């Protein structure tokens, strides 16, 4: 069973990648335990809830969707937990995609000043990204993820079997985050994604298990070295600077997060070639692998200058500088700021063309 240890100042825990991992839930319970609150969405519960239903004291449904990732939902869930006898010895089980992960994690982080959470991610994106690392939170009207907390889970149970029911587009969107992991830190993972797109897209179990484990290993290593997004954790933002701009520019409706990241990775890769950090052969390899898992929705109506203007508003802007994670080879990146605006615009336009 591949299991990856995450060691942070807050807590050390395992992220287990295994078919059937969902059945390990009771092994993760703390010794002192009163109620088990499963926070989930109805769709996920109807598809996969039977596996854990017997261990839940209460199942709390959350409507799901980015627009419901709000403090009001956190309050409603906490009220229901109090009403059902929740106390400091209660545990939250976050059972769903990245949205459930973030909302349920934040409920756990703040309920009675913090109770444990066990993450059972059910989308590919949540399995390889959101569930490991302890970031939780909700959106404000002013922007995404602006209120939140680092709250590391007791354990993360990653069961690739649950992905069988995931819509194909959601699955592909998660694959882009795995490509990201290959580019930033793991040439072998990158080449596997390059060689076997048919196996990956058909969810051939051995291949899927390998790529998920590869990505989770990287996330676990990076978070262990840097829980709170200093320089190392920022390498995980490859493709995200311009990807976030694209998501914001299209009001979070046209592209799934992973799709926007695919666009952002292409633009950052084009930029790396222009700054002289990446050779054209590697740039083409990255382009090719991203294309193998595409296409993403049409980019009609999106312009370079508008995306460039969005970058300035990105919250990862530090002291007026936009940071980019640029690949320097397959499996290695560097973080740069103060890149010439003209090169950024040119790179975005090259990808839009
Ligand atoms: N905390 C972090 O570090 C982190 C990292 C990346 C993303 N995120 C957050 O994650 C969110 C996006 O997550 P997402 O892409 O998983 O979207 P999501 O949570 O909205 O899930 C996508 C859809 O798939 C459904 N679903 C989930 N599992 C399923 C399954 N097994 N079978 C069928 N349907 C299933 C969900 O109900 C939902 O309708 C964003 O809000 C983003 O900010 C957080
Ligand atoms: Zn991401």
Can 113 be counted among the known catalytic residues? yes
CA of 252 to the centre of ligand 2 (A): 13
Q: Percent of the chain beyond pLDDT 90?
A: 92
Can 55 be counted among the known catalytic residues? no
Mean pLDDT of the chain: 95
Check if 165 has its Cβ closer than 6 Å to any atom of ligand 1: yes
Instruction: Considering the candidates 68, 144, 233, 310, report the single residue annotated as catalytic.
Output: 233
Mode of pairing for the β-strands spanning 117-121 and 155-158: parallel
Does residue 140 carry a pLDDT above 90?
A: yes
Check if 133 has its Cβ closer than 6 Å to any atom of ligand 1: yes
Summarised one tens digit per residue, pLDDT across range 222-257 is 999 987 777 788 999 999 999 999 999 999 999 999
Q: Do the beta carbons of residue 277 and residue 327 sit within 8 Å?
A: yes
pTM attached to this predicted model:
0.96
Check if 237 has its Cβ closer than 6 Å to any atom of ligand 1: no
Identify the residue whose C-alpha is closest to ligand 1 atom 35: 166
Which ligand is nearest to the Cα of residue 109, counting in written order? Answer: 1
Can 151 be counted among the known catalytic residues? no
Check if 229 has its Cβ closer than 6 Å to any atom of ligand 1: no
Check if 128 has its Cβ closer than 6 Å to any atom of ligand 1: no
Can 288 be counted among the known catalytic residues? no
Instruction: Considering the candidates 18, 73, 177, 259, report the single residue annotated as catalytic.
Output: 177
Summarised one tens digit per residue, pLDDT across range 195-229 is 999 999 999 999 999 999 999 999 999 999 987 77
């Amino acid at each position: 069973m591949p299991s990856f240890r995450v060691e942070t100042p807050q807590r050390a825990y395992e992220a287990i990648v295994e078919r059937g991992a969902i059945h390990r839930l009771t092994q993760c319970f703390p010794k002192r335990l009163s109620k088990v609150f499963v926070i989930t969405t109805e769709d996920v519960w109807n598809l996969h809830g039977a596996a854990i239903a017997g261990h839940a004291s209460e199942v709390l449904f959350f409507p799901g969707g980015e627009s419901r990732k709000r403090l009001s939902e956190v309050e409603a869930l906490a009220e229901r937990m109090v009403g059902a006898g929740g106390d400091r010895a209660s545990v939250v089980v976050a059972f769903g995609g990245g949205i459930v992960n973030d909302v349920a994690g934040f409920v756990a982080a703040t309920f009675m000043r913090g109770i444990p959470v066990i993450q059972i991610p059910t989308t590919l994106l949540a399995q390889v990204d959101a569930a490991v690392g302890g970031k939780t939170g909700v959106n404000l009207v002013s922007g995404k993820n602006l209120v939140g907390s680092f709250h590391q889970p007791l354990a993360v149970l990653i069961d690739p079997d649950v992905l069988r029911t995931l819509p194909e587009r959601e699955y592909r969107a998660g694959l882009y985050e795995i490509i990201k992991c290959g580019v930033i830190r793991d040439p072998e993972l990158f080449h596997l994604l390059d060689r076997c797109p048919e196996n990956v897209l058909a969810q051939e179990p051995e291949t899927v298990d390998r790529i998920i484990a590869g990505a989770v290993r990287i996330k676990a290593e990076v978070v262990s070295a840097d829980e709170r997004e200093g320089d190392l954790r920022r390498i995980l933002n490859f493709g995200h600077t311009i990807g976030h701009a694209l998501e914001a520019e299209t009001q979070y409706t046209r592209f799934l997060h992973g799709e926007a990241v695919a666009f952002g990775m292409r633009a950052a890769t084009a930029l790396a070639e222009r700054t002289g950090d990446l050779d054209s052969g590697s740039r083409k390899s990255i382009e090719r692998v991203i294309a193998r898992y595409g296409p993403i929705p049409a980019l009609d109506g999106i312009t370079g200058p508008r995306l460039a203007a969005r970058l300035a508003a990105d919250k990862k802007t530090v002291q007026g500088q936009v940071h980019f994670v640029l690949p320097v080879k397959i499996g290695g990146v560097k973080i740069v700021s103060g890149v010439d605006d003209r090169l950024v615009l040119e790179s975005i336009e090259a990808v839009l063309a």
